[in-house]
Amino acid sequence: MTGERTLVLGVDRDDDIGFKADVESPVIGRAACLDAATRLGLADPEDSDLNAIYQAVKIYDKLVAEGEDAVVAILAGNHMHMLEGDRKIAANLRDVVSTTGATGCILISDGAEDEFVLPIIQSQVPVQSVVRVIVNQIPNLEGTYYILKKVLSDPKFSRFILVPPGLAMLLYAAANLFGYPQVAIIVVVGAVGIYLLYKGLGVDEVTHDLMNSIRISLNRGRFSLVTYVVGVLLLILGVIMGLMSVLVHYSLDGTFGILLYLFTFLYGSVQWLTAGGIIISLGVIVDNFLYERDSLGKVVVFPFFIAAIGLVAYGASVYVMAMSNVADFPFSPDTSRSHIFIGTLAGIIASVAGVVAQYLVSRWVNRQGTRELIEIT
């Protein structure tokens, strides 16, 4: 066993030790792990991560008593954003393995969620065993109620469980209050559907990254701060205009289907959404040109592709609404055919122009880098 060291690793993927006990990870060493367990126990004595930490220390003590070279550590992710948390765990694990010189790992987990990071751990150190800690409880009705109460009090879960029905009830009441009872169901279903897609497709992560970019731009005084603000305002305006379009073209006889309402929303919002996306991407391009020129070739294509998607989406929405004989729609079926043809053709041209621009800019950046390297040498 000479030269081998076992890392007994506890993983707190949702960062309860940081969120509840204000413990910074990684935590390395027996004394530090016991201190983290004490602080978490005082903050929330019923947290299952507390048992996992004690289990990690127990296994560490057993290995040391048997004469093995071992070290115990705890890694934590992010309480609200799992993607960022997993990246943090991967980065911290590299530091822990480098610092401790571990050649193998025993993973301690308090549930299947923490074991999602198993591939991340295996990519950096061989995993010799996985130990899952299960807390024994009596599964009665009171226990079920208590578990539900604890889940709903956790903001990570309550936002997803409580927000959709709360939003639905609020929109339904508002629609009836303003005299639109016939559209209340449509507004409620549409808003809840948008929220579920927002969460399910990971748009919330994109929004979080966008807010981080705005904060970084504000701190560094970058040009993209202005374009971010203008772009976000245009995106909000686009959503409002899309909902107004649905209200204007709402069918009282029930002939509209969900798909047609989707295209009606798209018809009213796509111009504003496209403009907002283009303005944001232009700010990113300017910042990359001024501060991060090496990645300029990757971002220069953004406005072209956003414009292409917007042109195709606009043409498609006009065509579908005209062919569906929507009342008071300003375009006839014959005119709509030219719109979808021109929109598709313009979208293809814009996407090709984006690829060409990316190629030319990448070549220019590479030449600039080669020239600077020659000047240095």
For the chain, how long is the longest CA-to-CA vector? Answer: 84
Average pLDDT, rounded, for the chain: 80
Instruction: Give the model confidence (pLDDT) of 70-86 as tens digits.
Output: 999 999 888 777 778 88
For the chain, how many residues are written? 377
Q: Which two tokens stand for residue 267?
A: 């018809």
DSSP annotation of 254? S
Contact (CB, 8 A) for 206 and 244 = no
Q: What would you report as the CA-atom Rg of the chain, rounded to the nearest whole angstrom?
A: 27
Ordered by start, the domain boundaries in the chain are: 6-132, 155-201, 204-376
Instruction: Give the model confidence (pLDDT) of 26-43 as tens digits.
Output: 899 999 999 999 998 898
Give all strands (DSSP E) within 77-152, no chain letters. Answer: 104-109, 127-132
pLDDT at 260: 80
Q: Cis ω on the peptide bond leading into residue 303 (within 30° of 0)?
A: no
Name the helix (H) or strand (E) containing 71.
strand 70-76
Contact (CB, 8 A) for 187 and 175 = yes
Instruction: Give the model confidence (pLDDT) of 83-125 as tens digits.
Output: 788 888 889 999 999 888 889 999 888 765 656 788 888 888 9
Name the helix (H) or strand (E) containing 180.
none
